[in-house]
A and B are shown apart, each in its own frame.
Chain A
């Protein structure tokens, strides 16, 4: 069984401040982890994914996430928020390793305050 918990359905940050979106996972096997972003009225976009190897994963638009097995976490960060980062972010886990049978978190809406 696998599951994802995203802490905070809404997060507000000031422009230029650190973005931290939290994700904790549960998986009976070594997980594959993903972060997606969804802009209003659009489809999803894959930001980054953890497969195996390096635990710090760099993605697009300056985002990165660190896989911490001991904490079962995969938090998403960005050093400096831009107005264009305002969107909904989804963490996801897959035990099979692929995009198939992925389980999504409930999402976190990021608001960036000018």
Chain B
């Protein structure tokens, strides 16, 4: 079974541009979550999608948005990039919407490293 894939793996953009990152979950998984990891702020939850609906969102400005398609693939978009958006963006998928089940496991992709110049 293929794991979570993220494209592209590396990206360089300049301030003011916008960027779209893609995440393909494990086959059959309907929940996709996105996280940002920076040296200064650490790991932070961005948002979570389940069956094409955004269920939860972290404390990020409206420049950060996302969507999920009917095949569960998800994209996140960052508009008007700022230097502080440079980060590793991680995507994760799970079969259930919540982690309450002791048997459900969340799987992460390798991440997309975004550099904003």
A residues with CB within 8 A of B = 32, 34, 42-46, 49, 51-53, 90, 92, 94, 96-107
Q: Is the CB of A32 within 8 A of B99?
A: yes
Q: Is the CB of B99 within 8 A of A106?
A: no
| B113 shortest CB reach to chain A, Å | 9
In the complex, whether B55 has a CB less than 8 A from a CB of chain A is yes
Residues of A with C-beta under 8 A to B4: 43
Q: Is the CB of B33 within 8 A of A99?
A: yes
| B44 shortest CB reach to chain A, Å | 7
User: What does DSSP make chain A's interface, helix, strand, loop or mixed?
Assistant: loop
Pairs across A and B, CB under 8 Å, 10 listed: A34-B99, A43-B4, A43-B108, A43-B109, A90-B43, A96-B98, A98-B48, A98-B98, A99-B99, A106-B42
Residues of B with C-beta under 8 A to A32: 99-100
Q: How many angstroms between the C-alpha atoms of A21 and B106 in the bound complex? A: 21
Q: Is the CB of A101 within 8 A of B45?
A: yes
- Contact mask for chain B residues 82-117; partner A; CB cutoff 8 A; 1 contact, 0 none: 000000001010100111111001111111000000
Q: How many angstroms between the C-alpha atoms of A34 and B35 in the bound complex? A: 15
In the complex, whether B74 has a CB less than 8 A from a CB of chain A is no
Q: How many angstroms between the C-alpha atoms of A98 and B47 in the bound complex? A: 12
